[in-house]
Amino acid sequence: MARNRTAFFDIPPDQLSERDARAELKELAELIAHHDRLYHEQDQPEISDAEYDALRQRNESIEERFPQLILPESPSRKIGAAPAEGFKKVRHRVPMLSLENAFLREDIVDWLDGIRNYLLELRDPGVAIAVRCEPKIDGLSCALRYEGGNLVSAATRGNGEVGEDVTANVMTIQNVPQALKGAGWPDVIEVRGEVYMTDADFLALNEQQEAVGAKVFANPRNAAAGSLRQLDPSVTASRPLHFTAHGWGESSESFAESQSEALRRIHRWGFQASEPSRVVQIVAADVGGLCGYYDDIERRRSGLGFSIDGIVLKVDRLGWQGRLGFVSRSPRWAVAWKFPPERAVTVVEDIQCQVGRTGKITPVAHLKPITVGGVLVRRATLHNSDEIARKDIRIGDTVVIQRAGDVIPQVVETLPAQRPTDSVPYRFPERCPVCGSRVVREAGEADSYCTGGLICSAQVVERLKHFASRDAFDIDGLGDKNIEAFYRNGLIQTPVDIFTLETRDGQQLPPLREWEGWGEKSARKLFDAVRRARMIPLDRFIYALGIRQVGEATARLLAKHYRSLAHWRGCMEASQDRSSEAYLELCAINGIGARMADDILEFIAEPHNQAVLDGLTSAAGGRPPLVSVADFERQAAETPIFGKTVVFTGTLESMSRSEAKSQAEALGANVAGAVSRKTDYVVAGPGAGSKEKRARELGLTVLTEQQWLELIRNEFE
Ligand code: IVH
């Protein structure tokens, strides 16, 4: 008998609640498996092909809307039906953060100093801090999810929020356990670590590749990434990859008190954990023990057999880690102490200026190609005109360059003894090399800008690239090269045009599938990716606009404060009047300075930017992109202070000001620096002055520290 479907089946995916979506996906998985069996094994289909396709289509569109609910047994993930179009996206339930970099001993002193300052009880220099030291493996990070002890999925880091589903490929890595060993593992545990290739395997792979005329990899990291991101898992299986664990993400229960204990356990469950490690006890600000580990690993670096680019230091106690939390995308409790960048000597063949999306002009040295630390380098940034003048870098000079990790190589110094006799100092252009507009440099600024705005094609193209990039709209298939081609051919001029590509396809020009290098599949893949991008968290939307000075962290602040696109835009428009409440509110957001506010308001005031915002939000450009709530909102439960604005003033006694602020933010509050009519709570400690006074004048709720702690207490129990 044909199975029936439940009532919510025909609700559009956008309107489904998460609960219903979960139930329906489960039902669809069973239903499709049932029809697969009838069709393939019993040759007795109950439904038509069209009905079957409709079920799969429905499954896909719900998964697109709720990627976090994709089931391990989902029909879309069946191995063999491997997505030729690329990897599926997976939303990380706990974001995958990255690490702040340190280069000098003093940076480490500062890091520890910050920790001692942040946690009140550590302000006593006699209290020791145990720091776990590990090598920083140069691979790519991966999250492996185990349920009931079995490996159910694996994802790359991606942009930290959404990664790629590489389950089938990770299953082929020899030292990844398919099932956890021993006992005591949480029912759900996501082990995180690094996928890498040993130096010997890397060299052997490159020899093989060369022998068959295939692509040779620049370094072990690229080789590991290239091997893991293979659409055909059997290719990954033929590559010698390894996995080493250095942490974890979601866990259904806590299983350790310290990082070291956790990694010992993870090791017992069958993983290789990052070694050689050491726990160093830090008293006061004495970083001697950490330097000892750093020197030791640097000495042993070439004998380890795998590539590392520094060490990682982590506060060992998990209780402290939790309280230290993270700032922007990096934890306060860990830091990467990188080895000095590798250097080489080469010749500057030319100096050319690039124009960025904000019009900023960056001079770039074109070098005689040279290998630095295994990577072929052809260009180095020269930053700005002051930097060129200070180092007196000229065309024809022999220079020392350095390269640290993925950072753009830099010119360290020029070697004047080897300078050609006819050389002349470099003259910075007065006109934009792309559009010919005037170049200006404001007083007190190091950077020069092209004044061409939208008539400068370089700026337009760079803005489009930024819009589609990984941390912004993240549109697969719309990389730099394609944007350039689409722009050149007049297909896209503004971000709005991206969303109408599909409806306009084949109208002015031949359809995309007929373009050179394109086909039916790649064109479809691009249109699908654009459709998926219509749903985007507010913070990424704001970041994508490419407002000067508004990076990811600021975009998050704005999204968190204003919470919807319409509200943010409305407030920015009202803020054009600098005496308005809206303007005061914007400037009162902690982390938004007056100059930044000016840049935001200048952006919003521009008619062409308004047209883009209109186009993106109205139906004018086809179906409008939907701006979903930012991720932190989705995660934050409704707490008594959710969405409330809080101001701390005076001295706090139970914790540092920074800790109180982060704690409030973690519960969904906005912490402001100044009191205004919009403030909900003012927490006043001893010594509070004018802010408390103003709060009382305005009739706001003023709390003592104790009352505040009671208000939020339940959330931390
Ligand atoms: S801990 C919150 N430990 O380095 C991030 N990361 O530059 C916790 N990495 O994305 C990461 N070796 O992929 C940690 N021993 C180690 C590591 C390590 C390599 C990678 C990791 C991270 C990147 C940050």
pLDDT at 688: 87
- The residue contributing the CA closest to ligand 1 atom 7 is 99
Q: What pLDDT score was predicted for residue 50?
A: 62
Q: Among 599, 632, 665, where does a domain finish? A: 632
138 lines ligand 1 (CB under 6 A): no
The residue among 581, 607, 632 that closes a domain is 632
Distance separating alpha carbons of residues 564 and 539, to the nearest angstrom: 10
Domain of 55, in residue numbers: 3-78+341-418
CB 459 within 8 A of CB 453: yes
Mutate to test the pocket of ligand 1, among 100, 103, 133, 136 (most ligand atoms within 8 A of CB): 136
**CATH assignment at residue 123:** 3.30.470.30
Residue 611 and residue 670 in one domain: no
For residue 346, give the nearest of 382, 370, 365, 364 by alpha carbon: 370
In a shared domain, residues 699 and 585: no
Q: Rounded to the nearest whole angstrom, what is the distance from the C-alpha of residue 537 to the centroid of ligand 1? A: 26
**CA 670, CA 586: separation in Å to the nearest integer?**
12
Q: Please name which of 629, 632, 453, 666 lies closest in space to residue 541, comparing C-alpha atoms.
A: 629
How does pLDDT run across 51-60, given as a tens digit for each residue?
Answer: 676 788 788 8
Residue type, 548: R
Q: Which of 205-219, 286-300, 373-387, 584-598 has the highest mean pLDDT?
A: 286-300
Query: In this predicted structure, which of 404-418, 436-450, 692-706 has the lowest mean pLDDT?
Result: 404-418
- Based on the fold, state whether residues 407 and 526 are members of the same structural domain: no
Residues 490, 605 within the same domain: no
Q: How many domains does the chain have?
A: 5
Of the residues 610, 632, 654, the one at which a domain ends? 632
How many C-beta atoms surround the C-beta of residue 679 within 10 A? 23
166 within a domain of the structure (yes/no): yes
Query: Domain check: are 169 and 307 in the same one?
Result: yes
Contact between 615 and 496 (Cβ < 8 Å): yes
Is residue 412 pLDDT above 70, yes or no? Answer: yes
Distance CA 346, CA 465 (A): 31
Whether 69 maps to a domain, the answer reads yes
DSSP sequence for 90-135: EE-SS------EE-SHHHHHHHHHHHHHHSGGGGSTTS-EEEEEEE
Looking at the fold, whether 109 and 226 belong to one and the same domain comes out as yes
The CATH number linked to 7 is 2.40.50.140
What SS3 class is residue 180? coil
The confidence score (pLDDT) of residue 31 equals 85
Nearest CA to ligand 1 atom 23: 98
The predicted pLDDT at position 298 comes to 94
Residue 74 confidence (pLDDT): 78
pLDDT digits (tens, 9 = 90+) for 11-47: 777 788 888 888 888 888 888 888 776 655 555 667 7
Closest CA to 140 of 198, 224, 251, 53: 224
Hey, how many other C-beta atoms are within 10 angstroms of the C-beta on 189? 22
Which residue's structure tokens are 């330097």?
Answer: 291
pLDDT score at 658: 87
Average pLDDT over residues 613-634: 63
> Atom 18 (ligand 1): residue with closest C-alpha?
136
- pLDDT (mean) for 562-569: 87
pLDDT for 4: 46
Q: Are residues 132 and 224 in the same domain?
A: yes
596 and 643 share one domain: no
What is residue 241's predicted lDDT score, i.e. its pLDDT? Answer: 96
658-694 residue pLDDT tens = 889 888 887 878 888 889 888 999 999 998 889 999 9
**pLDDT over 60 (residue 716):** no
Whether the pLDDT of residue 71 is over 90: the answer is: no
In a domain, 425, yes or no: no
Residue 561 pLDDT class (50, 70, 90 cuts): confident
Q: Is residue 154 part of a domain?
A: yes
Check whether residue 309 and residue 365 sit in a common domain: no
| 334 is a domain residue | no
Q: Are residues 400 and 515 in the same domain?
A: no
Find, among 389, 414, 619, 378, the residue nearest to 496 by Cα: 619
100 with 187, same domain: the answer is yes
Q: Which one-letter amino acid corresponds to residue 203? A: L
Model confidence at 579, pLDDT cuts 50, 70, 90, reads very high
CATH number at residue 664: 3.40.50.10190
Residue 573's domain is classified under what CATH number?
Answer: 1.10.150.20
Residue 434 included in any domain: no
Query: What tokens appear for 697 in the block?
Result: 């004048």
- Residue 567 within any structural domain of the chain: yes
DSSP state of 285: T
Q: What is the pLDDT of residue 78?
A: 56
Q: How far apart are CA 154 and CA 176, in angstroms?
A: 11
* Average pLDDT of the residues in 703-708: 92
> Hey, which of 133, 134, 194, 274 would you mutate to test ligand 1's pocket, going by the most ligand atoms within 8 Å of its Cβ?
194
Residue 715: is it exposed, middle or buried by C-beta count within 10 angstroms (0-12/13-18/19+)? middle
Cite the active site residues.
Answer: 136
Per residue in 458-512, pLDDT (tens digit) is 999 999 999 999 889 999 889 999 999 999 999 999 999 999 899 899 998 999 9
Asked whether residue 628 falls in the same domain as residue 657, the answer is no
Q: Is residue 84 part of a domain?
A: no
Burial 76-107 (b: 16+ CB within 10 A, else e): bbeeeeeeebbbbbbbbeebbbbbbbbeeeee
Instruction: Give tens-digit pLDDT for 161-202.
Output: 889 999 999 999 999 999 999 999 999 999 999 999 999 999
The reported pTM is 0.69
Binning pLDDT at 50, 70 and 90, where does residue 8 land? very low
3-class state of residue 207 by DSSP? helix
Give the Å distance between the CA of 334 and the centre of ligand 1: 9
Tokens of 182: 């021993």
